[in-house]
Amino acid sequence: MIQDIYPSRYYNEYRPEAASAASSPVLCFDADKVFLKEDSDGSLSIPQASDIEGSLTYAFAIDGTEYFLLREVPQDTSDLKAFNIRKLRRSGKLIGTEMFAVFTAYHLAVWYRNTKFCGRCNAHLEHHKTMRAMVCPSCGLEVFPRLNPAVIVGVRNEGKLLVTKYNRPDADFYALVAGFVEIGETLEDACRREVMEEAGLEIKNIRYYKSQPWGIAGDILCGFFCELAGSDEIRMDTGELKVAQWVTPEETVLQPDDFSLTCEMMRMFKEGKV
């Protein structure tokens, strides 16, 4: 999965005193596009501080390399090229620690962009002096990076798995039932509700599998496998999905990259490991 960067190691401690060097990698975004350097052979890399003008914010470290965030669109992009993050994921041109860095920095960039004013008194927020948070100088409200909990559900039924495709133009690959956790729900409640809403099916024996950060949507994804309870007749929500069907391991078509928890869960089923 995208966070599996071993033997490299990710350090998310906040270091407001960190200062960038000329060689420090810098992530900068414009909406859902990331700016990268493209060499003559088509290879991509994250720009360095020497390539970027502007005030930088410390983001995180991977091994001994400290990454910084430019929180505005670069003024001079003549040596950079903007890439849609979702398309970049499928391109195969950026992998390993660099792709993980892009996803994670994007999560931070969106949070900073959306966290400028106090939701209590409308004052301008300031950086917390010791924590990764924004603080209101007027009323003292502290705002921390937002994580959106979501579930991914692998529903099994007598040797088959429920797979789906979302009802949107860019949903070309098979996935599993998934959705955000609502207020007052447990993770297991969210699994039951999402499977019923999207496929009209009841489930039982819900078992936790694994979790994953997913910076594109600011999510923390929680994967579960479960069993069908009752009828296997799918009543698909056509507003949400364009495909919902039962498949055998041999019929299971995996996504073209191994970044996502969804794809790993489908692969585990395909290989008979769950």
Question: pLDDT in tens for each of the 274 residues of the chain?
Answer: 999 999 999 999 999 899 999 999 999 999 999 999 999 888 899 999 999 988 999 999 999 999 999 988 888 888 899 999 989 988 888 888 999 999 999 999 999 999 999 999 999 999 999 999 999 999 999 999 999 999 999 999 999 999 999 998 888 899 999 999 999 999 999 999 999 999 999 999 999 999 999 999 999 999 999 999 999 999 999 999 999 999 999 999 999 888 999 999 999 999 999 9
d(CA 253, CA 256): 9
92 and 174 co-located in one domain:
no
Peptide bond into 149 cis (omega under 30): no
Q: Is the CB of residue 210 less than 8 Å from the CB of residue 264?
A: yes
> Residue 235 is part of a domain; what is its CATH number?
3.90.79.10
The pLDDT value recorded for residue 71 is: 87
Quick one: 91 and 135 in the same domain?
Answer: no
Instruction: Give the domain range for residue 104.
Output: 10-114
State pTM to two decimals. 0.92
- Asked which of 91, 114, 137 is the last residue of a domain, the reply is 114
- Alpha helices, DSSP H, located in 115-203: 187-199
Contact at 8 Å (CB) between 145 and 109? no
Among 114, 136, 167, which residue terminates a domain?
114
